[in-house]
Amino acid sequence: MNSVDADIADYRYAIFSGGVGGAKLALGFYLEQSSEELLVIGNVGDDFNHWGLHISPDLDTLMYTLAGVADPDRGWGRAQESWTVLDTLSDLGGIDWFRLGDRDLAVHLERSVQMGEGETLSTVTRHLCRAFGVTATLVPPTNDEVRTMVGTADRTLSFQEYFVRERCEPLVTGLLYQGASQATLLPEIGRSLAGDRLEAVILSPSNPYLSLDPILEIDDLRRRLAASPAPVVAVSPLIQSQAFKGPTAKIMMELGFAVSTLTVAQHYADILDGIVIDSADRELSGAIADLGIKVWITDTNMGNEQDKRRLAAEVISFSETIAG
Amino acid sequence: MNSVDADIADYRYAIFSGGVGGAKLALGFYLEQSSEELLVIGNVGDDFNHWGLHISPDLDTLMYTLAGVADPDRGWGRAQESWTVLDTLSDLGGIDWFRLGDRDLAVHLERSVQMGEGETLSTVTRHLCRAFGVTATLVPPTNDEVRTMVGTADRTLSFQEYFVRERCEPLVTGLLYQGASQATLLPEIGRSLAGDRLEAVILSPSNPYLSLDPILEIDDLRRRLAASPAPVVAVSPLIQSQAFKGPTAKIMMELGFAVSTLTVAQHYADILDGIVIDSADRELSGAIADLGIKVWITDTNMGNEQDKRRLAAEVISFSETIAG
């Protein structure tokens, strides 16, 4: 048994997460639990090549958040950031719609250098996490390329074109997770899900369509989650039709879904054992229970560190209840 | 006749140059003459790939110098520079022996993006010069890859490994200009040299072995220079065995050459019509004249802007004398 296998045997919690909202819960687990026992799987559907560099926005948001160097106000990028390179490149007429700070840029450069030398994204992510002192295991779901493509009335945009360049303004007509079905799930995720050490699988309060589906569509991950001995628990990203962060509500409406935690529960019905919903949505608990999904009602806001830890602790208690 | 040809018809002076020392004289010409009539050919033997980016140190030193944004004290890079990306990347365990400042890095990123889109180095250099407001034409001698390799007792180093990483410390046993003989000279340089509009070709006071030979070995440039109707004039980089800047003297010694302006004259004897030497070396003028090379004796220091302009003016007067 090599050291990677030894690691896997020790994971107690696996969290599937997108960027900001999901990262808050991941931080709650990181602070509340023994971080070495935490496996965080970050969305790579938003990854893209910019300025010739491999950029992994969600993995970086998770890494920066766990390392305590994320910018607390902007919701992306690093704290105490400067913008010298971007401003200079902008003056030269370069492409400047994606705002890369100097400290953030260093990470993309280092990632791209290591990947250029033939390292996989998962290995580079481990190297970077080690450099940032992150003691949880943060991985991409696959080392293959998965790209979220956003269909709009006019044309298909890459996620970052839609999200950043077009500021989520175009009407979304459909989503495509390019490469997902052909991608190979990172073996340690599959082994961890199939093993009996894992106490819970958590779907973080990230956008189901933009952040979690690009992961869940990989390989036969949905089937693996449905078959996992550990309970699968989601935390809803919605409170009474309001998404915590980002364009979740807008996209749900445009795709014809009711903007409701019930829709989220239905979306995951085949894999969920339980869902944590906000007290404001308690009237949905009956309808969700009818789907065969257990419900935990609490305050799902994660405004401060204490909220994050409390919610993580509640998710753990809830999953223990489900596991019986 | 397209616009590029129209430009070529107007060049009065063509300066072949390496970095710092050569850039001083190029600036003298730029300020003293109509800059649109100036063709500056910068060494690319020092170019290399670093952090996945295409870096052209001599072209950039020339561009920054002509644009007035070069750092006056360091002798390389940009004024008012910051080092956030480098410091951050260094903290991550990245490769940090080549000191790239934030503002400088933006140029390498933009160059690499444009080259990644299929643009040639000469086109990208024009784009960058335009963005920096440089009105002279700065070009690489070729769009093919030429790399100066430094043979040392132990092993062969790329130029930047020798120059920056190893601080010129290893004993130099030989130099190789990889790719030079197979490279194609930029057509506008060849046309300009063969035309009758050019009033002088200037070999700037750069290191003959490290900065000018990597240019002169390209294609059949030496023969073209020897055949050029315009007089070819060098400015010696040496004053009484002292090189202005960099490792010229050390390398000359290690390669077994006498560290003297006479050696420089001998090195270029097949192509030179004249050479500008320092007053301190006036006793060499007879020996140089014996090589069939005319001599102009003056103060070759270029400490300030006035010195640079004066020396440029003297080089012009001298070349007019030669042209008769």
Q: Count CA atoms closer than 13 A to A151's CA, side-chain side.
A: 9
The pLDDT value recorded for residue A244 is 63
User: Measured between alpha carbons, how far is B84 from A100 in angstroms, rounded to an integer?
Assistant: 13
Q: In what helix (H) or strand (E) does residue B259 lie, and over which residues does it extend? A: none
CB atoms within 10 A of CB A131: 17
CB atoms within 10 A of CB B130: 12
Identify the band that residue A245 occupies on the pLDDT scale cut at 50, 70 and 90.
low
In a domain, B221, yes or no: yes
The pLDDT value recorded for residue A241 is 80
Average confidence score pLDDT of chain A? 93
Q: Among A238-247, B71-80, B220-229, where is mean pLDDT lowest? A: A238-247
In a domain, A228, yes or no: yes
Structure pTM?
0.91
Instruction: Quote the ipTM score.
Output: 0.88
User: What is the DSSP secondary structure assignment for residue B108, as one 8-state letter?
Assistant: H
User: Measured between alpha carbons, how far is A89 from A95 in angstroms, rounded to an integer?
Assistant: 8
**pLDDT tens-place string over residues B177-195:** 999 999 999 999 999 999 9
**At A243, which amino acid appears?**
A
* Listed residue (A25, A6, A9, A2) closest to A312, CA to CA: A25
In a domain, A87, yes or no: no
* CB A56, CB A47: distance < 8 Å: yes
- B110 to A116: CB separation less than 8 angstroms, yes or no: no
**Residue in A52, A91, A113 nearest the CB of B94:** A113
Q: What is the mean pLDDT of residues A166-188?
A: 94
| CA-to-CA dists, residue A3 to A6, A10, A190, A192, B175, angstroms | 5, 11, 17, 14, 47
Residue A284 pLDDT more than 90?
A: yes
Name, in order, each residue with C-beta under 8 angstroms of B16's C-beta and a sequence gap of 6 or more: B22, B41, B141, B201, B202, B203, B204, B212, B215, B216
In a domain, A86, yes or no: no
The pLDDT value recorded for residue A252 is 87
In a domain, B164, yes or no: no
Query: How far is A83 from chain B, CA to nearest CA, in Å?
Result: 9
User: Measured between alpha carbons, how far is A290 from A241 in angstroms, rounded to an integer?
Assistant: 20
Residues A51-62 as b/e (b if ≥16 CB within 10 A, e otherwise) read bbbbbbbbbbbb
User: Measured between alpha carbons, how far is A218 from A239 in angstroms, rounded to an integer?
Assistant: 28
**pLDDT tens-place string over residues A229-239:** 999 999 999 99
Q: What is the C-alpha end-to-end distance of chain B, expressed in Å?
A: 31
Query: Does the beta carbon of B113 lie under 8 angstroms from any beta carbon of chain A?
Result: yes
Token output for A75: 């919701």
Residue A243 pLDDT more than 80?
A: no
Residues 29-68 of B with CB under 8 A from A: 51-53
The pLDDT value recorded for residue B29 is 98
**Residue in B84, B113, B128 nearest the CB of A102:** B84
- A92 to B82: CB separation less than 8 angstroms, yes or no: no
In a domain, B81, yes or no: no
Average confidence score pLDDT of chain B? 93
- A92 to B128: CB separation less than 8 angstroms, yes or no: yes
Residue A300 pLDDT more than 60?
A: yes
**Residue in B52, B84, B102 nearest the CB of A113:** B52
Query: Does the beta carbon of B79 lie under 8 angstroms from any beta carbon of chain A?
Result: no
Closest Cα in chain B to A51: B113
Size (chain B), residues:
324
Contact residues on chain A for B53, CB-CB shorter than 8 A: 52
User: Measured between alpha carbons, how far is B169 from B147 in angstroms, rounded to an integer?
Assistant: 20
Contact residues on chain A for B131, CB-CB shorter than 8 A: 91-93
User: What is the DSSP secondary structure assignment for residue B281, as one 8-state letter?
Assistant: G
Query: How far is B218 from chain A, CA to nearest CA, in Å?
Result: 30
CATH of the domain at A212: 3.40.50.10680
User: Measured between alpha carbons, how far is B165 from B98 in angstroms, rounded to an integer?
Assistant: 7
Query: Which domain, by its residues, includes B137?
Result: 3-70+128-145+184-323
The pLDDT value recorded for residue A266 is 96
* Listed residue (A55, A38, A30, A59) closest to A122, CA to CA: A59
User: Measured between alpha carbons, how far is A137 from A122 in angstroms, rounded to an integer?
Assistant: 10
**pLDDT tens-place string over residues A15-35:** 999 988 899 999 999 999 989
Place of tokens 């950029």: A55
Contact residues on chain A for B128, CB-CB shorter than 8 A: 92
Closest Cα in chain A to B125: A92
Identify the band that residue B153 occupies on the pLDDT scale cut at 50, 70 and 90.
confident
Which one of A78, A85, A98, A114 makes the best mutation probe of the B interface by having the most chain B beta carbons within 10 Å?
A: A85
* Listed residue (A226, A89, A3) closest to B111, CA to CA: A89
The pLDDT value recorded for residue B204 is 97
In a domain, B23, yes or no: yes
Domain count, chain A: 1
Residue B10 pLDDT more than 90?
A: no
Q: What is the mean pLDDT of residues A125-134?
A: 98
Helices (H) and strands (E) in chain B, counts: 14, 14
Q: Among A155-169, A241-255, B27-41, B46-60, where is mean pLDDT lowest? A: A241-255
* Listed residue (B136, B156, B138) closest to B147, CA to CA: B156
- B94 to A82: CB separation less than 8 angstroms, yes or no: no
Q: Which of the pair, B128 or A5, is modelled with greater confidence? A: B128
- B85 to A85: CB separation less than 8 angstroms, yes or no: yes
Identify the band that residue B9 occupies on the pLDDT scale cut at 50, 70 and 90.
low
Token output for A99: 């705002």
- A52 to B92: CB separation less than 8 angstroms, yes or no: no
Which one of A80, A81, A92 makes the best mutation probe of the B interface by having the most chain B beta carbons within 10 Å?
A: A92
In a domain, A102, yes or no: no
Residue B87 pLDDT more than 60?
A: yes
Which one of A64, A87, A102, A117 makes the best mutation probe of the B interface by having the most chain B beta carbons within 10 Å?
A: A102
Q: What is the mean pLDDT of residues A270-277?
A: 98
Residue A219 pLDDT more than 90?
A: no
Contact residues on chain A for B102, CB-CB shorter than 8 A: 82, 84-85, 88, 102
